[in-house]
Structure 1
């Protein structure tokens, strides 16, 4: 009789424990859902380069490319991400201007990026392709 009661008792305790605590699968799903929601929010960046001087400001209001001589605005677009890589590693913004020309901004996380003019070390490198012109610079989050 003891042989039958012990397994039944253990099974009952196990069922109660499983029913009273959330499973790891549910906890992992919550963490993934929260992480994905964070990635969908607009991230603000300041991108700049020297020789020639240029900058791109990314915000919820839009994306603005500036030089000392001109300024061009684009509506905000969500960046493309490198397939199978962390969202914070590479961001690619495809921007269409009023002539329907595609401009491409690539922001990549690096150990350190230098603008060549100051001692500031930036956490991202940047390449902006505008028509046939390729501009290289650095970027940082605008917090």
Structure 2
């Protein structure tokens, strides 16, 4: 009888341990799932921040003196500030002047009217002496007033930060490249967006040059290469022609696509 009681007691203790272990396992699983969900939320939040930051990144900035004023333009809004006024209005597409690199933004709200003209002419800041590639003229007034205030200053386009990377060629004029096209290594470009310059390998020779950037517009200019003799089947010349013919770009899925009105010219893959 005593032996039966001991056996029952031991069985009860084992059941308690088993239940505790089971509860702990369930608790650990719940904690792990909770941690995974938290990490997922953090990742999604960071992705949203990147998308939001890109959408709201300024693509043009300008300023002037007498009086001091500042202008910032992005895809969402135009922000214009003076010592006595601050104006935030929705972005509008600019009107292009034919034959000249001049853009005009005509913006009208219930309380304000503003016209911004950006011209690709060299401009020197009256106080700092800093030279900018664009001249800016702003005319604005409140709807309730008749007098138009006119301001002048200097500005520049802000090159898309996403271009800053190393890109290796994948396709050229609609065809995926092979070792037969470039015997040694595939062409690559390293873009320095803050300095508007690039360097790289053209498929046979080393190269470097400058970037011309405006909102949605990208050109590779002042391209210089070394003078090594290339193999007859090497497509370096075709690649350089495509690179210098591009006018627009897109970045998606770690790919940089360069195009012009005729279509897609090159596609690069990001490697860094």
The TM-score normalised by the length of structure 1 is 0.62
Residue in structure 2 matched with residue 12 of structure 1 by the alignment: none
Q: Which runs of 4+ in 1 moved over 2 A?
A: none
Aligned positions, number: 97
1:109 counterpart (120, 127, 145): 120
Residue in structure 2 matched with residue 118 of structure 1 by the alignment: 128
What is the DSSP-based 3-state SS (H/G/I as helix, E as strand, rest coil) of the residue aligned with 1:116?
coil
C-alpha displacement at 1:43, in angstroms? 7.8
1:136 counterpart (152, 160, 174): 152
Distance in 2 separating the partners of 1:92 and 1:44: 15
Gaps of 5+ in 1: 1-41
Deviations 1:18-60 (A, max 9, x none): xxxxxxxxxxxxxxxxxxxxxxxx9811111101001110011
Structure 1 residues 74 and 128, CA gap change in structure 2 (3 angstroms): same
Does the CA contact (< 8 Å) of 2:64 and 2:154 recur in 1? yes
Does residue 95 of structure 1 match 2:107? yes
RMSD: 1.8
Distance in 1 separating the partners of 2:85 and 2:150: 17
Structure 1 residues 43 and 68, CA gap change in structure 2 (3 angstroms): closer
Does residue 52 of structure 1 match 2:64? no
Higher relative contact order (CA 8 A, sep 6+): 1
Gaps of 5+ in 2: 1-56, 142-147, 160-272
What is the DSSP-based 3-state SS (H/G/I as helix, E as strand, rest coil) of the residue aligned with 2:155?
strand
1:74 counterpart (75, 89, 92): 89
The TM-score normalised by the length of structure 2 is 0.34
